[in-house]
Chain A
Amino acid sequence: MSIGLRDATVRRSALSLRRTRRRAKRSPYPYWFLLPAFAVFFVFFLLPTFSSFYYSLTRWTLFDSEWIGLDNFRQFFEEPGLTKGLTNTLIYAVVTSGTKVVLGMVLAVLLTSSVWGRAFMRSAVFFPVLVSTIGVGLTFTVLMEPDQGLINDALGLVGIQGPRWLVDPRYALLSVAAVDVWKGVGLATVIYIAGIVAIPREYYDAAHVDGATPWKTFRYITLPLAWPATMTVIVLSLIGGLRSFDLIWAMTRGGPGFTSDVIASVIYKQYQAGFYGLSTAGNVVLFLLVSALMLPLYWKLSRREVQL
């Protein structure tokens, strides 16, 4: 979530930067004002990033490291859990992102119409975003407990035999994804609300005069004009899904067996096992993968916004 907000500000400042570039030449502030910030950035971001490229090429025990060339990468790609982790990561990212888009849109349309208790409902929808992920994960682990959990008890009352949620290998990943959606849909909704509120009333009035049904109004006015919001939601939740780890780790630890492993949990387990060089290599791969997916998307997105 914090990433999401940061990305938004980064993009906005990128835009304003572009606008002020011509003036920036004669800025009264010299460049070396940047130095203190750069020092911190260097120590905490650049140095670790570049040393991780080095350590990914070594056998590293924390005590000493031995150069082994590309062996770690070879081993990482031979990892039996890797294909499973990759597919799971993609499934998880697409499922959560897709559901957040649809649900967020529905909720936003509902919450921008004159529905009873609107302000309260808006906060209620946003509230889960503010709760700690680990807390949510542990709470839902208890709720989803197959034999004594509240969810299956409640389903039992109406005569439904609930699935074994986190324990059944078929549903484990999807159960976690459902909780992720519950937690994250609030942010998507807020973005959509902003997008929908920004659509000029005149279009709706005109459509009303022309006798458009509510569905047609939604289909031909709200949906296309909320497109920038949709893009933002897709990108943010896709990034979130690709790098998801905390919720999965809190709920299933990648289990049962390896059935809900994602790339991040595969890497984490290698780190836990003390394979520091190998897991660093995995992180480098993850870094390149996310960059490869996200750079083109960013580029497209920022172009779109400039045109608007």
Chain B
Amino acid sequence: MVLDRTFRRVVVLVALTVAAVVSGCGGDDDGGSASKGESVELSFLVDNSDQAVKPAQALADAFHQKNPNITIKIETRPQGGEGDNVVKTRLSTQEMTDIFAYNSGSLFQALKPEQNLTPLTDEEFVGRLDDAFKPSVSANDQVYGAPFGSAFGGGILYNKKVYEKLGLKVPTTWDEFMANNAKIKAAGIDPVIQSYGDTWTSQLFVLADYHNIASEVPDWDKKYTANQVKYSQEPALEGFQHLEEVKKDGYLNKNFGSIKFPAALSLLAQGKGAHYPQLTVTVPNIETSDPGKIDDVGFFAQPGKTADENGLTLWLPGGVYIPKTTEGAKLDAAKKFLDFIASPEGCEVYGKAFAPTGPYMVDGCDLPDDVPAAIKDLQPYVDDGKVTPALEFLSPVKGPALEQITVEVGSGLRSAADGAALYDKDVEKQAQQLGLPGW
């Protein structure tokens, strides 16, 4: 009998332990019950970079001023792959914040929007979105997001002072670009800056070449998704070859293997290097690293084979999304906030918190006149319609090891042809993991 009683106690104890352990992983969903007029608090997850946190905070504050009963609290997450996992884990465990910012394009598709996000197609702000942007936050004809910030260009940042001093002209073909490099090297300045200490910066010659690929083969992205064209074939191979050439010809800064992005940007701003393949989204950082130098830096699209197909590869802004777990009053408040973000007023607030990095994707949002020179340089390409979105917004296929491969090719450890072939293998793995047809 005694044993029987103790046994029962133990069973209860075990059950409690298990329950405690399991409930520790459970949710604490308390949202969605606030009634009209009561104050609502929304949580908003962004990555921890300045260019996400500052505007997010500014938008939240401005929105709170207009709607005093809605408070928005910013939460941050890591950037890059780690951040991807945080977002996916929180979505799949139903623990996502009420609103969150995340990439558009292929990374957005990997979130399984139909399953996890609230469709916003019927919201008023969707009518104000640029047609180039909509597909990058849509799945199965439903729109799921509002643009967070402005679009930006990928190509070559260059030092205007150096160009002036040496009497150089902005190149429109790759041959002109290489001819400029020869002159710059003769003047004792590093022609091309690379910063493989931050591996992501090594991919630009390949990624920013997409406009050139698309102008030769207009539906390259569709064929790529269907496994009919490869990076190891012309014309896509050229991006890898460019990377190889600048190293082979000795055009790189001496410490290309070790320096990181901020140091490289400083080299460019100070005119110690002439070109830096980069995204224009990085330009505002010059204001903090080298005050007063920001207008010494200009931008041109990555030159291709011929001058008349010269044009810009454009990166679309990320989106702000509402997960399915946001309900009731919180959902209404969240939709209201997204409408605010995708409005001229929202663009203005955003632009004041973090200088715009390219054209906005919302009707009625214009770039202010005082944007940095490199951002102004984007406008002619957009006005002339010589713009192609980067491949990652057109195709879900993107291999994860590209930045390691481009570091190897760019450092002369691997040939361009070899690197491109290796990347094709990497892409094949990704496509198979996505379960795409034709791979």
Given A63-B115, A147-B255, CB of A257 within 8 Å of CB of B21? no
Binds B, one of A32-40, A97-105, A110-118: A32-40
How many A residues touch the partner, as a band? 35 or more
- Contact between chains at B433 and A32 (CB < 8 Å): no
- Name which residue of chain A comes closest to B116, CB basis: A63
Given A169-B413, A258-B404, A272-B82, CB of A253 within 8 Å of CB of B199? yes
Cβ of A4 within 8 Å of any chain B Cβ, yes or no, is no
8 A Cβ contacts from B44-89 to A: 80-82, 84-85, 88-89
- Name which residue of chain A comes closest to B89, CB basis: A62
- A274 contact set on B, CB distance < 8 A: 84-85, 88, 110, 400, 433
Cβ of A282 within 8 Å of any chain B Cβ, yes or no, is no
Instruction: Give the Cβ gap from B55 to chain A, nearest Cβ, in Å.
Output: 26
Cβ of B430 within 8 Å of any chain A Cβ, yes or no, is yes
Residue with the greatest number of chain B CB neighbours at <10 A, chosen from A63, A259, A277? A63
Cβ of A128 within 8 Å of any chain B Cβ, yes or no, is no
Query: How far does the alpha carbon of A114 sit from the alpha carbon of B70 in the complex, in Å?
Result: 72
Cβ of B13 within 8 Å of any chain A Cβ, yes or no, is yes
Cβ of B312 within 8 Å of any chain A Cβ, yes or no, is no
Query: How far does the alpha carbon of A256 sit from the alpha carbon of B406 in the complex, in Å?
Result: 10
How many B residues touch the partner, as a band? 35 or more
Query: How far does the alpha carbon of A232 sit from the alpha carbon of B170 in the complex, in Å?
Result: 66
- Contact between chains at B435 and A257 (CB < 8 Å): no
Query: How far does the alpha carbon of A253 sit from the alpha carbon of B92 in the complex, in Å?
Result: 28
- Contact between chains at A269 and B401 (CB < 8 Å): yes
Cβ of B294 within 8 Å of any chain A Cβ, yes or no, is no
Query: How far does the alpha carbon of A272 sit from the alpha carbon of B125 in the complex, in Å?
Result: 34
Instruction: Give the Cβ gap from B428 to chain A, nearest Cβ, in Å.
Output: 9
Contact with B along A246-288 (1 / 0, CB 8 A): 0000000111111100000000011111110110000000000
Cβ of A43 within 8 Å of any chain B Cβ, yes or no, is yes
- Contact between chains at A272 and B401 (CB < 8 Å): no
- B82 contact set on A, CB distance < 8 A: 272
- Contact between chains at B432 and A257 (CB < 8 Å): no
Cβ of B91 within 8 Å of any chain A Cβ, yes or no, is yes
- B199 contact set on A, CB distance < 8 A: 253, 255
Cβ of B408 within 8 Å of any chain A Cβ, yes or no, is yes
- Contact between chains at A254 and B404 (CB < 8 Å): yes
- Contact between chains at A59 and B435 (CB < 8 Å): yes
Given A61-B110, A62-B89, A258-B404, CB of A166 within 8 Å of CB of B433? no
Q: Can you report 26 A-B residue pairs in the complex whose CB atoms are below 8 A from each other? A: A33-B10, A35-B10, A35-B13, A39-B17, A43-B22, A61-B88, A62-B88, A75-B432, A80-B425, A145-B258, A147-B254, A147-B255, A164-B257, A254-B404, A255-B196, A255-B404, A256-B408, A257-B408, A257-B414, A258-B401, A258-B404, A258-B408, A272-B82, A273-B81, A273-B400, A274-B85
Which residues on B are within 8 Å of A, measured CB to CB? 7, 10, 13-14, 17-18, 21-22, 80-82, 84-85, 88-89, 91-92, 110, 112, 115-116, 196-197, 199, 254-255, 257-258, 400-401, 404-405, 407-408, 411, 413-414, 422, 425-426, 429-430, 432-433, 435
The 6 A-B pairs at the shortest CB distance, nearest first, are namely A272-B81, A273-B400, A257-B408, A167-B257, A62-B92, A167-B258
